[in-house]
Amino acid sequence: MDENTTLEVYKCPSCGGAVRFDAATGSLTCMWCRNAYDAEALETKRVSASLEGYLCPECGAELMADDFIAADTCPYCGNNEVAPHRFEGEFEPDSIIPFAISKQQAVERYESYIAQKDYLPDDFIATSRIGSAQGAYVPFWLKDGVVNFDCTYKSQKKDAGKNSYSERYFRRAGTYEYARIPADGSERMPDDMMDSIEPYDLDERVPFSTEYLPGFMAERYTVDAEGVDDRIGNRMCVSAILAAKETAPGLDRGPFIEGDHCTTRFLNGHEEQTLLPVWLIVIAYGGEKYLAGINGQTGKVAINLPIDEKKQTDAAFKGTIKKELPWTLPFFLGGLAIAIAILVISPPSEGTYYAAAVFAILPIVCAASYFTNRYKREKRKVQESMQNVREAKLSGDYDPNCMTLTLSEQGKGPLSPFASKEE
């Protein structure tokens, strides 16, 4: 194809992946996230021709692929195609983790996972359908670095014989070194999905070879090494804060994070480009599509499943009543008893009625506000149990095997001038 030729490129607005026409639905379907769109709804852009023609060695068909796809399947004979030159030069990965989970095993892991979920709609298992299951080698960057942190934590200790707490403040400062922190370098893949199927056992990396690619989609990176710095830096700052928090005394409550300051720098520019195995399973249910990501090495499943609202509400209500009623009921009854005593003992007057109303209503208002907040918390617990796709920087899931926490001498003791209120 003439290098000066221009093309109209259709990209999925959800993940940026390539789309193709699906004759069954009459719409354009993303090859990666499987969302479907009308052609009129997609924005197009004109680019210089990036499609390259090559012949299938099995049947001789002339095939086309974009610059980033390095492994695919011939649509005419099913032969697994690999374009090794796509991984040459700066695009050649340093390593790869081969698939250890087969397609059938990936589907079984997904089915086992959803079978344990209590808050799915009753008809989900019976009516949902697996639309596709595709294995893909996703480009990842592995980077080393260090976080410099200086954080303040507050703990509380219950006062002897009192229903009150004294506060203590602690400072934690130092460095947090980390190695081989992954971040995907693909615009096609949802970043939160790729974060959620971690961790990979990176010790099982082997030198890159195209012999692992046939039968799977594979692409070279579309986000360069510098493009993932912010993601990795933010993730490591959260991990540093939480790791340092564990060294602060918890006492009776806490420690709670009061303030933090973190800076991140990358060590010696060390970085590694690797390909990691991912199974992508698209599930159709109720007119919607749900994408499951499955770690092709460990089988870990990540998917945001639909939630039956009635089941969620019932679970949240029962959880709130079970946890909070034993102590809020006496509080409510005590206020009511005081209100009745005021009416019985005090002479009738406007002030008497007002005081009785305050003691009768105030516990109800306080309890209602408290119950509402607790109820929302219980609903979030249900959602978290059903929807486990989230960015790694929000989870604070640091791996002690890849990190080293070092506290400075100045950052090991109580924070001055915030002395303990007991001292």
pLDDT tens per residue across span 245-263: 888 887 788 888 887 777 7
Where in the sequence is the domain holding 65, given as residue range(s)? 6-81
Confidence of residue 16 (pLDDT cuts 50, 70, 90): low
* Tokens standing for residue 80: 């697994």
The verdict on 372 and 342 lying in the same domain is yes
The amino acid sitting at 206 is: V
The verdict on 165 and 290 lying in the same domain is yes
422 found inside a domain: no
340 found inside a domain: yes
The verdict on 37 and 162 lying in the same domain is no
How many other C-beta atoms can be found within 10 angstroms of the C-beta atom of residue 339?
A: 20
Report the percent of the chain where pLDDT is more than 70: 66
The verdict on 331 and 281 lying in the same domain is no
Residue 59 reports pLDDT greater than 70: no
The verdict on 112 and 235 lying in the same domain is yes
The verdict on 344 and 246 lying in the same domain is no
The amino acid sitting at 266 is: F
Write out pLDDT tens, residues 363-406. Answer: 666 666 777 878 888 899 999 999 999 888 766 665 666 778 88
Exposure on the CB side of residue 182, measured as CA atoms within 13 A: 27
Q: Is 5 helix (H, G, I), strand (E, B) or coil?
A: coil
The verdict on 183 and 275 lying in the same domain is yes
The verdict on 239 and 332 lying in the same domain is no
The verdict on 134 and 276 lying in the same domain is yes
Residue 28 reports pLDDT greater than 90: no
Write out pLDDT tens, residues 284-296. Answer: 998 888 999 999 9
Residue 275 reports pLDDT greater than 90: yes
* Number of structural domains found in the chain: 3
Q: Which of 67, 52, 68, 66 is nearest to 3 (CA)?
A: 52
Exposure on the CB side of residue 359, measured as CA atoms within 13 A: 16
100 found inside a domain: no
Write out pLDDT tens, residues 193-226. Answer: 999 999 899 999 999 988 787 778 888 888 999 9
For residue 311, count CB atoms less than 10 angstroms from its CB and return exposed for 0-12, middle for 13-18, buried for 19 or more. middle
The model carries a pTM of 0.72
The verdict on 176 and 295 lying in the same domain is yes
Average pLDDT over the chain reads: 77
121 found inside a domain: yes
Q: Are strands 165-184 and 129-158 parallel, antiparallel or unpaired?
A: antiparallel
391 found inside a domain: no
* Bond before 414 cis per omega within 30 degrees: no
9 vs 178, more confident: 178
